[in-house]
A and B are shown apart, each in its own frame.
Chain A
């Protein structure tokens, strides 16, 4: 009859001789880690050598001094004994830096180094997407969301426009704007009918250190200017007339007093 065991023994027996295949990448990570620590170590040895060298030099000079002062050989050996411990002390101090028992204590500078070292595999595990997401300018993140939500508002505008039969100004929807009172229309019709043919700020503002970007439906910059009192006529940077669709105005910069400004405004281009 087969032996029956309790949970601990079951796991101990099964887990004791676990020998999974090791990913070859693990060795390259360890190896590159070692390269790094060797570089650090050789730095230490140079330091040690210097210290030893210095103490040796001082030993010689002291010894010579005593030799000249007193030719007694016994004294000379006494000095050698006196200076010697110094040298060995330096060596011992150095090696105790990475003593095994120190491993239970958080040895911070060393830990950081070793984490840097393991990067190769981490990089492999976590794709670079993480990095590029953070590197991406904030503006690009902004643009995607408003476009989806715009529909309702624009429809309201159009209805309102039909009712009032005049140019309609809709209230602002600002996102993350810091102390800005920019007023832009949310509809733009560059069709030379004399109504809304230019896109511009309705209340003039004097902000010198700002840049305005207008993003087109495909997410590309179609217009860019440093003058906030610009009047856009619907001609893109590539000299084409802008397509109908959803657009996003982004203004970034500062108000001249050092306060950052970030303003976004979605609007629709209709022809």
Chain B
């Protein structure tokens, strides 16, 4: 079944089509959710809430641009909605405006396993994780992130650089463990 037929059937409320659509995209979207969440439970919360939005707002999809991208945006928005609340609560303790410069270290992609890296992301503080995801993986600018999370641009930058130095240290530990 091609994408537009699938969407049409989902719009009519066909349960089989809905299941098919979920099966087609849920795995990839869970991958997205896992990056934003602190653990698997939270990732599933994002996924479920996000997909309910996808189905209820399906009639808003105009067909311009990729359907997967549209779903992904809804999922990410859902995750951010939740995270925004949590980040706001911890603003005083975990987000500050100090900007650190980390020197560039180069890594070989094949040296690391996905699961290890995902674990590192999950373990990061909420602020680091969210900004790192948005900047490094989704490719948003600091300005956009600042607007999205309602923080200053400098805060976004400092969170990102802190996240980087955090990950850098953890990657070194990983590398050492592997060699040893």
The answer to whether B112 touches A29 (Cβ under 8 A) is no
* Binary flags per residue of A78-91, CB closer than 8 Å to B gives 1, else 0: 00000000000000
Q: For this complex, into which size category does the number of interface residues on chain A fall? A: 35 or more
B34 with A18: CB separation less than 8 A = yes
CB interface residues, B 17-65, toward A, < 8 Å: 18-19, 22-23, 26-28, 30-32, 34-35, 41, 44-45, 47-49, 51-53, 55-57, 59-60
Shortest C-beta distance, A194 to chain B (Å), equals: 64
Known contacts A26-B44, A37-B56: A6-B106 contact under CB 8 Å: yes
Contact B34 A31 (CB under 8 A): no
Mostly, the A contact residues are helix
Chain A: minimal CB distance from B9 (Å) = 14
Interface presence of A165 (CB below 8 A): no
Check if A26 sits within 8 Å of B48, measured CB to CB: yes
Assess whether A15 is in contact with B167, with CB atoms less than 8 Å apart. Answer: no
A189–B78 CA distance with the chains assembled, in angstroms: 66
A95 → B minimal CB distance (Å):
8
**Is the CB–CB distance between B105 and A20 below 8 Å?**
no
The reply to whether B167 and A38 contact each other, CB–CB distance below 8 Å, is no
Q: Which residues of B contact A141 (CB under 8 A)?
A: none
Q: CA–CA, A13 to B13, complex, Å?
A: 36
Tell me whether A18 and B118 are in contact (CB under 8 A).
yes
A41 to B112 alpha-carbon distance, docked (Å): 47
Question: Quick check: is B168 within 8 A (CB to CB) of the other chain?
Answer: yes
Do the beta carbons of A7 and B77 come within 8 Å of each other?
no
Knowing A22-B30, A26-B26 touch, does A103 contact B44 (C-beta < 8 A)?
Answer: no
Q: How close is B159's CB to chain A, nearest CB, in angstroms?
A: 14
Query: Taking the complex as formed, is B81 at the interface, i.e. its CB lies under 8 A from any CB of chain A?
Result: yes
Closest to A113 in B: B52
- List, in ascending order, chain B residues with CB within 8 A of A15's CB: 31, 35, 114, 117-118, 121, 137
* A218 interface hit (Cβ, 8 Å): no
- In the assembled complex, the CB of A99 is this many whole angstroms from the nearest CB of chain B, namely 7
A210 to chain B, nearest CB (A): 44
CB distance from A110 to the nearest CB of B (A): 9
Stretch at the interface among A114-122, A142-150, A241-249: A114-122
Question: Hey, which chain A residues are within 8 Å of B28, CB to CB?
Answer: 17-19
Nearest B residue (CB) for A1 = B108
Interface residues of A (CB under 8 A from B): 2-23, 26-27, 29-31, 33-34, 37-38, 41, 95, 98-100, 103-104, 106, 114-115, 117-118, 121-122, 125
| In the complex, the 7 A-B pairs of residues with the closest C-beta atoms, listed nearest first | A18-B31, A4-B106, A8-B136, A33-B52, A19-B27, A22-B26, A30-B51
